[in-house]
Chains A and B, each alone.
Chain A
Amino acid sequence: MTQHDFKPLRLHVPEPTGRPGYPTDFSYLHLAPAGAAPRPPIQARASDTADLAASLVRVLDDEHRAVGPWAPQLDPERLRAGLRAMLVTRIFDARMLIAQRQKKLSFYMQCLGEEAIAVAHSMALRDGDMCFPSYRQQGLLIAHGVPLVEMICQLLSNEADPLKGRQLPVMYSRKRSGFFSISGNLATQFVQAVGWAMASAIKGDTKIASGWIGDGSTAEPDFHNALTFAHVYRAPVILNVVNNQWAISTFQAIAGGERATFASRGVGAGIASLRVDGNDFLAVFAASQWAAERARHNLGPTLIEWVTYRAGAHSTSDDPSKYRPADDWQRFPLGDPVARLERHLEGLGEWSAGQGEQLRKEIEAEVIAAQKEAERHGTLLDGRVPPADSMFEDVYAQMPAHLRRQREQSRSES
């Protein structure tokens, strides 16, 4: 009887090692020591990067010194600028979290613990390049010097909201800062970034695109569409996968991260790929610069998996204590990107605890002042939002007859 030749099959359902009350075993991350990963020339082929896609590019060692071939030669002034942008991002997030709890805004999403990725990446891009972010790259806007008042007005959906109250908070759009309109639909922007890069190549331009996606969203078809098109047309694009280990409550193993890195998908698709310590500001800058140089030299796309940890709740509607250990971030082996850069600067004699304290106070005051100014244009609490009439605009370039009729009806019935 052949049916007895085999044991019954079993469905494998991945589980995180840590759950509330049980600590996570982070050995699954397969970390490499700082400085160990080689830095290939930007002409590297996809197959040359197979080892890098399985390893980890790190610059800052346990003593916070910059070591190895990836150490970028960034002067302390630029490092301090990066530190400042990271701190603005973190303090901004914390203030907006409070504002959400006070019901001044309906919803918010922090990027706590992931600040280095967007900020350092932004510093490796040039004016005119275009990012296609997900909802957790507010650091790109802040590093670009976008006025906090404008960002808060979007969050408040108030009378000065540049998106006229049409979008959920954090779904920013700012073309002139190289920041594409955020959509709630996951992964869609990843393939759009490739199309933008193809357009730049079609026109013989020198601008590049940078696409963003989380670990969970790599399971969406547009992740694969993006890799295929980027590879086929050698599009000048950087494909960023921010692996923060969690997609809401779902551990990255359920997205396909068990026994295979997300960077390895890039190699499989014929794209040069790196796996990088996302909490190491210097490594993020160096890897981003490497990928940007490749793209600019028409050498094709690069995929980068940023290994980090989603330190905060998924959103203000989420309670992570229901599905993961409360002290997980403290135990995450790659630490806190802000603290690591501060220790590095201190080691160089370019920073002190006093300066850190002073800077934090300064930023706190800046964010509070911006919030006050933004609230002068209204909040959800006082109902000073863009007029109802304006919702009929921008559906089409010219308002068609049926929308003019509906606008009339809306006026007469309100």
Chain B
Amino acid sequence: MTMIQALRSAMDLMLERDPNVVVYGEDVGYFGGVFRVTEGLQAKHGRTRVFDAPISEGGIVGTAIGMAAYGLRPVVEIQFADYSYPAYDQIVSEAARLRHRSAGDFTAPITIRMPCGGGIYGGQTHSQSPEVLYTHVCGLRTVMPSNPYDAKGLLISAIECEDPVIFLEPKRLYNGPFDGHHDRPVVPWSKHPRGEVPEGYYTVPLESAAVQRPGSDLTVLAYGTMVYVAEAAAADTGIDAEIIDLRSLWPLDLDTIVESVKKTGRCVVVHEATRTSGFGAELVALVQEHCFYHLEAPIERVTGWDTPYPHAQEWAYFPGPKRVGAAMRRAMES
């Protein structure tokens, strides 16, 4: 399966298993979503389970919270993560805090899917990675898969989770893995082992990272598209990097991270999002707090620049294998 098919399969399955699951968002119903992720779901499950919504992110998330308070389990879509900001008040002030402020009287088990990330000539408002705006919010879970197998298993876990989950989908990975070598042809998921996805029910647990590539020289902390960029950088440089795909950004799997960095003594953090106060800063701080006496080099960060995501300068902005490889070398040299 492609990541698109895997995500669709997760929703299809959950719509079938749990009569309280509903799926809606802009163009999600009849048309099946601008990325085809919900294709066929309305025809199969009916208009009251899968439906189109007005162009109102605040309305989509706000109604989902009300539905959750009633007892439903809404899975809503924001067309692009770049357009999640009108819903920010509902996400931060309401969904994230409802359980705490009502002492468990009301809860918001909702999943908010948002395609994110660049590398697609999406320009300013079709490429952003706003994960840190959600990892910073207490009460939310932020998740980002990097392959079809995880995408399905994590989305099922997110839908079943009693907490609100921000489910970020790197659109660059929808049809195949992408390692940042934009000059080379893209391989489809059908030719990748993580494209093997079971038809039936399974889960990938939240708060669990995956060691994407075992290694002994240094640890790379990555998620989404950057997992493949890091792999390419390791291959290009010959550095035996241990690449960790965080999968759950927050709350995260600290043990896997700490174990790896204590083993390698070096750490490179990679994300597409802009640098300053990005999620990388939290990862750097955690590694510093928990692995200080094991570190043999300063922790490196490779991120998007502190600029809005440009159009023409796509590959100068996107942290590709060259930049990641250079950071790996610096970490090895110190």
Using a CB–CB cutoff of 8 Å, the interface residues on chain A facing chain B are: 130, 132, 162-164, 166-167, 171, 173-175, 180-181, 183-185, 188, 191-203, 209, 221-222, 225-226, 228-229, 232, 394-397, 400-402
Contacts and interface: CB of A to CB of B under 8 A. Distances in A.
Contact of A195 (B64, B86, B163): B64
Interface string B115-153: 000000000000000000000001101000000000000
A279 B100 CA distance: 36
B168 to A, nearest CB: 19
Given A209-B66, A402-B251, 13 more contacts: A180-B106, A185-B89, A195-B69, A196-B67, A198-B63, A202-B48, A202-B49, A222-B58, A229-B59, A229-B62, A395-B138, A396-B162, A402-B254
Interface centre among A166, A225, A401 (most CB of B within 10 A): A225
A192 B63 contact: yes
A192 B64 CA distance: 7
B210 interface: no
B139 A199 contact: no
B72 A202 contact: yes
Contact of A225 (B58, B104, B107, B141): B58
B90 interface: yes
B163 A192 contact: no
A199 B207 CA distance: 30
B99 interface: yes
Interface string B81-125: 000001001100110011111111111000000000000000000
A193 B66 contact: yes
Nearest to A175: B105
A175 B254 contact: no
A221 B58 contact: yes
A199 B48 CA distance: 10
Contacts of B207: 400-401
A232 B51 CA distance: 12
B62 A192 contact: yes
Instruction: State which size class the interface on B falls in.
Output: 35 or more
Contacts of B65: 192, 195
Interface string B230-264: 00000000000000000000010010000000000
A163 B102 contact: yes
Interface in B32-87: 48-49, 53-54, 56, 58-59, 62-72, 86
B62 A188 contact: yes
3 smallest A-B Cβ distances: which pairs? A195-B66, A195-B63, A191-B62
Contact of A229 (B56, B107, B163): B56
Nearest to B20: A203
11 contacts: A166-B103, A171-B101, A175-B106, A180-B69, A181-B105, A188-B89, A191-B66, A201-B48, A228-B54, A395-B100, A401-B251
Contacts, number: 141
B254 to A, nearest CB: 6
B22 interface: yes
Determine which residue in B49, B69, B86, B104 has the highest number of CB atoms from chain A within 10 A of its CB, and name it. Answer: B69
A177 B67 CA distance: 18
A173 B97 CA distance: 13
A163 B101 contact: yes
A377 B101 CA distance: 20
A196 B22 CA distance: 13
B56 A228 contact: yes
Contacts of B103: 162-164, 166, 173, 394
B54 A232 contact: yes
A177 B138 CA distance: 28
A394 B59 contact: no
Contacts of B97: 183
A188 B56 contact: no
B101 A192 contact: no
B63 A191 contact: yes
B100 A166 contact: yes
A221 B86 contact: yes
Contacts of B94: 183, 185, 188, 192
A156 to B, nearest CB: 15
Contacts of A174: 105
Nearest to A231: B54
Nearest to B253: A401
Contacts of B56: 225, 228-229
Nearest to B206: A400
Contacts of B89: 185, 188, 222
Given A191-B62, A195-B64, A396-B163, A173 B105 contact: yes
Contacts of B70: 130, 195-196, 199-200, 203
Given A197-B66, A225-B59, A395 B93 contact: no
B61 to A, nearest CB: 9
